[in-house]
Amino acid sequence: MKKWGRTVGTTVRKIKGYVIRDWMMSYLFLVPAFGFFLLFVAYPMVKGVYISFFDYSLRDFSFIGLDNYISLIKDDNFRKSMGNTLLLVLITVPIVIIFSLFISMNIYKKKEFARSFFRGVFYLPAVSSVVSITVVWGWIYHPNYGILNYLTSFLGMEPISWLGDTRTALLAIIVVLITTSVGQPIILYVASIGNIPTSYIEAAEIDRATPWQIFRKILWPMLMPTNLYIIVITTINTFQCFALIQLLTSGGPVYSTSTVMYGVYEQAFMLGHFGYASAMGVILAIVIGIISIIQFKYFGSDVEY
Amino acid sequence: MRAMKKGLMSIVGVALLGTQLVACGNTNTANSANEPSNNTDKSEPAATETAAKPAEITWWNFPSFQALDGEVGKYEKEIIAAFNEKNPEIKVNLEMITFEGGPEKLNVAIASNTAPDVIYDAPGRIIDWGKKDLLAPLNDMVTDEVKNDISEAFWKQSSVGDETFMYPINTAPFMMAVNKTVFEKIGALDLLPLDKEDRTWTFEEYKKALEAVKEKAPDVIPTGFFAKSQAGDQGTRAYLANLGVSRFLNEDNSAVAINTDNAAKALDWIVQATKDKLSVSGAASLAAADVNDLFLQGKLAFTLNYSAVLKAQNVSKKMVEFEDVLLPFPTLDGSEPKLEPYLGGMAVFNNGDEAKITASKKLIDFIANDPVWGKKNLIQTGGLSVRNSITGLYDDAEYKYAEYARKFTTDAPTIADGYADIRTFWFPELQRALTGGATGKEALDSFAAKANEAITKAKAAMK
C-alpha cells in the first residue's frame, strides 16, 4: 500500500505505514553499491593493514607487531624498489601531462573526423590488454631479433639489450608506460579544451597575446580541474604499475626495474610472505596518500566558465 | 580545516586501493590447515586396504602429461575415467594449472584454506609444503617392494626426515641439447661427443664447437644463457657447476658450494662469450622459455635446459625441422658431469578430511601402479620411471641415452631448507655479472652470503 505526498521540498512516500522520505530512498539505493564497497574494498583494506602486523606465511600466523615494517626499512631491495617507483612517477607523470596536452592542443581544432581518428589512435593502447601490448614491446626490445635494434643498426649502432642492461631497462619500461598512459588524458584534455569559451582566446588574440601567453594565462589555469584529475590518476596508476614489469623484466636486471607493487606480488604470491607483503602495501598506500594530498594542495582549484 | 579533511579523505581513498592486493587471505586458514596434520594417524592402514568410502577430491595438475590430441587435460580425464571404473565411489574434480601462474595460485589457495586434495608436482615445492606441515604423509603407501625399487636419492628428494610426502613417479636428468642438423650442415659433427657412449666432453671441446657455429653458420647463435626469472634455474645452475666442476650446494645442503674460483672463471667466461657473440646477447632479459624457443626456431645451436621430458613436450612446438640431441654439460677437465634430476611425483594436501586423504592416495596409487595405466601414464609424461625395475619404455636412442645418463645424477638442491628463498638470489647475481656490475667471483660470493643466511634462517625456523 503506497501513498504519495509532498511536504516542504521533500517527497514523502508511505510503505506499509512507514514514512519514507526521498533522502532515505537515496541512501537505500546506495546500499548495494556500498555493500560491495565494504565487502570488496574496505574489508580487504582493513584486513591488509591488520595482517601487516603478523608473520603470515603459508604455515605461520603470529603477531609480530612492527617487525615487518622494521625489516622493510632495512631491506635494500625494498628501498631500491621504492626508489625505482618514485623515479618512474617523477619521470612518467610530467611527460604524460606534457605529451597528452601537446597532442590535445593540436587535435582539438581539427575537424570531427580527424579528432575522432587521433583520439582513437592514442586511446587504443589504453583499452588494449596490457599483456598483448607487453608482448609486442617485448618483441620490439628483443636483444637479438627486436625491431628497435634493427632500426638502430642503420645508425651504425651495436645491438643493445634494452631490457637486460641496468642503464636502459628502466628507460625502456618508462617508454612503454608513457605510450599506454597518454590515451585517457588526451580524451579528457580534448574535451576540456573544447569546453573553454573561445571568446577568452579571441579576446587575448585581439590583445596580441602570443600562443605561449594564451596557453599560460588562459588555457592552463582553466584546465586545472582536469590537470588535477589526470595528475592524481596517472600518479596512482604509475605507482601501481605491475603487469608491465612482471612480463617485461621480472624486476631485473639486478632490481633495476623492480617496483614496490612488483615486490608485493613477489613476496605475497611467489614466496607466500603475506604479512611482509601487506606491510609493503600499507607503506605504498601511505606514500601515495601523501603525494595525493600534495597534488590536491598545489593543483586543486575551482574554475567556472 | 577543509583542506585537511580533503587530505584525510585522500589518504583513506588511496589506502583502500593500495592495500587490497595482499589482503585476500584467510587468517584462520594457516593455523586450521596445519592443525589436522598433527592429528593424522600415521599408523592407519595403507590406502588400498581401507574400506571404500564415498569421497569427492580435487586434483590440480600442471601439464605433467603431454596433451592428448592437442587438448590440455584430456589425458587426465581419461585417467580419471579409468580410475572411476575401479573406484566409482570417488569423484575426482580436475583442474589444470600452468607452470607460469600455478605456483602463485597454489600459494594463494593454501593461504586461503582452499588447497586442492592432490597434486602432481616436483620436490621443490612439495618438500617445502611438507616442511610446513601442509601435507599428509604417504608412508603407508610405500611398501617394502616400492621402497627397495627406488633409489635412495629419490627418496631423499621425496621425504622430510622419516616422512614421505611425495610419491615419486617419473624422472629424467636435466641436460643440455644440441641442434645436430646445424652441425651436419656445417660439416662439424665430429666436434660433438656423439660417438662416445657417455657423450661426455670438456669445456675446451665445447668452446671449439661454439666457434665452429659462429664461423660457419652466422645466422645461428652458438649457445644460450638466461637470467630473467627463476623458471629453469636448474639449467643455469648445472651449466655453471659443470663448467667449473663445482657443486651448487654442499653435500648436506647446509651451505653454498658454487662460489669456487673455477665456477667464477666459468661465469666470467659466460659473460665474455656473450660479448664475443658465442652466447646469446641480452641473457639478463631472457627467460629459460625464451632461450628454448630460440632453439625450437632453429636459431640456437645449443640450449641449456633440456631433458627427455622436455624433448617430448617440445615436438609440437618446433618451428623448423631439425634433430635435437641430448648432451651432458661439458666439464672443465672432462670429468663425469653432474646432472640434476627432474623428479615428478604426487602429494596429498592435508585438508583435514581423512576420507579425502584416503581417496587421494588411491588415485596416486592408480596413476603410479595400475598394471595398465601405470606404464601408459609414464610414457605420457615423456619421462623415465623412478623404479629401477621399469626400464626400456621407449625404443628411441635419445631415451636410451637419457636412461644411461641417470648414472650422472647428482643431488638436487631443491630439498635444501630455505630453497624457495635461495633461488630468488640466484638470478639477480647472474644479472650483476652479465651486466658488468660484478665479476664472477663477486657475484657468486654475494649469492653464497645471501643463500647461506636464508638456509640458516630456515633451519632456525624449523626448530
Distance (Å) from the C-alpha of residue A24 to the closest C-alpha of chain B? 24
* Interface subset of A 276-295, CB within 8 angstroms of B: 277-278, 280-282, 284-286, 288-290, 292-293
Q: Looking at the complex, does the CB of residue A263 fall below 8 Å from at least one CB of chain B? A: no
Note the pLDDT of residue B66.
Answer: 86
Tell whether the model's pLDDT for residue B226 goes beyond 90: yes
Q: Which of B11, B20, B281 sits opposite A48 (nearest CB)?
A: B20
Inform me whether the C-beta atom of residue A80 falls under 8 Å from chain B C-beta atoms. no
State the ipTM, two decimals: 0.80
Least confident of A18-27, B30-39, B94-103, B253-262: B30-39
pTM of structure: 0.83
Contacts of B434 in chain A (CB under 8 A): 164, 253
Best of A51, A61, A264, A276 to disrupt the B interface (most B CBs within 10 Å) is A61
Residues in B touching A44 (Cβ below 8 Å)? 19-20, 23-24
Which residue in B23, B110, B424 is closest to A51 by CB distance?
B23
| pLDDT level of residue B326 (50, 70, 90 thresholds) | very high
Which of B27, B280, B281 is nearest residue A56 as measured by Cβ atoms? B27
pLDDT at B11: 43
Nearest CA distance, B453 vs chain A (angstrom): 14
- Between chain A and chain B, the number of residue pairs with CB atoms below 8 A apart is 198
Is pLDDT of B48 > 50? no
Test the B interface: residue of A55, A168, A233, A274 with most B CBs within 10 Å? A274
A82 at interface of B, judged by CB pairs closer than 8 A: no
pLDDT, tens digit, for every residue of B244-282? 999 999 988 899 999 999 999 999 999 999 999 999 999
Q: Mind telling me how many Å the CA of B370 is from chain A's nearest CA?
A: 34
Q: Do A249 and B228 touch (CB under 8 A)?
A: yes
Task: Select from A42, A284, A293 the Cβ nearest to the Cβ of B7.
Answer: A293
Give the distance, in angstroms, between the CA of residue B427 and the centroid of all CA atoms in the same chain.
16
| Nearest-Cα residue of chain A relative to residue B30 | A59
Name the pLDDT band for B35 (thresholds 50, 70, 90).
very low
